[in-house]
Structure 1
Amino acid sequence: MPVQQLFGGSMSISLPAFAVDVSTLRDIPDNQEVFVHSTTDQSIIVEILQYLDEADEQAVRSHFDSLATDNECDPNNYEVTSIDQLQNITMHQCQSAYSLAGTQRVSKFHESAENQVDVYMGLFRLPQHQADIVVTFNDPRTISPGSSSHSSTHEPTGDQRWTFEQFKESLASMNLLNPGLFG
């Protein structure tokens, strides 16, 4: 998987093939790096967020809940299916690292049509920098016929679609190259 520089070269991550840097298409907040699959509605987002002063498993759940709120999910339309501690990671500066798997039923652009999305999240905890680094893989499983994504999504052939295994490889490759990123 190709290595992608993040935040001006302060971090890096290996991403699966067909990743398009969204910042070449539109403005992205300074605390985010966003990549989309070139032919599916899949995305990987890396965010630097405020450190949550919570136990690790609760912190990853809180970040997932915050994403569901941002996605305007009804509380009955999302759930966490697993939380695990990440092993064999490259970013040794983090205190701990966790992964979460869950689902959300979300609408794009405030549409009434909802899409079923598998959401995978990695959390890297850096309390010494008052930061949580959250990496999210959005993997739509069901695109509603009424969704704007329905007509624009082309089903990839063969091994083009990103997999959870590739996302785990991306998380393992996450690397902090310049701690000065945090000030």
Structure 2
Amino acid sequence: MAGGADRRPLFGGAFSAVLPTNIQDISDLREIPDNQEVFAHAATDQSIIVELLEYQEGMSDPEAARYHFEDVAASNDAQSAAEVVSVEPLPLAQLSLTSCSSAWALTGHQRVSKFNEEAQNTVMMHMALLRIQQHATDLLVTFNDPVAIHPASSSTGAETSGNTSAWTLDDFHRLLLSFQLHDPGVFG
């Protein structure tokens, strides 16, 4: 695979995708909910989160993307410091996930604190909402890319996206385009 990335099983092998290099599976360090896969970059403060969420019925696809962004902002206590920059469709023909009924990319940023610190870091958030309507599931993939680390943050000293080994948007797009479903039983 390009850039040394590997296809990896997700959700117990129900899905697979090409993940970027320098990846650390956070479930090796702490308990992660069954509906999430969480990965961190080994040298930067970047992370990728893959979530199987309830399909948001009764709203347009762009509204559903914004809903999930705002939900993440609320869980990050960043509602007042979160902004959507763009919401755009992703071409289904480019996706390997054939059960996807629609796909949307959202770019935004949030000012978030780690570990309940007062210091806030500015994080660019690249989200992809892959809607799997037939299984009542929204597959949300979030790439958190810190662009400004507050000097008082515990993240100070973590290399930022200027690092040559840092993940790029190309890495994120490769991940999105490579998603495959192997076991529909994951949906229950």
Cα 1:122–1:157 change in 2 (3 A) is closer
- What do the CA deviations read for 1:80-138 (whole angstroms, capped 9, x no partner)? 11111112111010111111111001111111100000000011111211110000000
Cα 1:5–1:82 change in 2 (3 A) is same
Residue among 30, 41, 46 paired with 1:42: 46
Structure 1 position 10, deviation (Å): 0.3
Separation (CA, whole Å) in 1 of partners of 2:68 and 2:163? 33
TM-score w.r.t. length of structure 2? 0.92
Secondary structure class of the residue paired with 1:162: coil
Asked whether 1:66 is paired with 2:104, we answer no
Separation (CA, whole Å) in 2 of partners of 1:156 and 1:174? 24
Amino acid paired to 1:133: L
Amino acid paired to 1:35: F
- What do the CA deviations read for 1:44-98 (whole angstroms, capped 9, x no partner)? 00000111012111101100010001100142x1111111111211101011111
- Alignment of structure 1 residues 118-137 onto 2, 5 Å: 118-137=124-143
Which residue does 2:99 correspond to in 1?
93
The unaligned stretches of length 5 or more in structure 2 are none
Question: What fraction of aligned residue pairs are identical, expressed as a percent?
Answer: 46
- Is the CA contact 1:39–1:156 (under 8 Å) kept in the aligned structure 2? no
Residue among 104, 116, 119 paired with 1:113: 119
- What do the CA deviations read for 1:123-174 (whole angstroms, capped 9, x no partner)? 11112111100000000001101101114x1358763010112101111111
Asked whether 1:33 is paired with 2:37, we answer yes
Two-structure CA RMSD over aligned residues (Å): 1.3
- Is the CA contact 1:4–1:13 (under 8 Å) kept in the aligned structure 2? yes
Q: Number of aligned pairs? A: 181
Separation (CA, whole Å) in 1 of partners of 2:62 and 2:162? 36
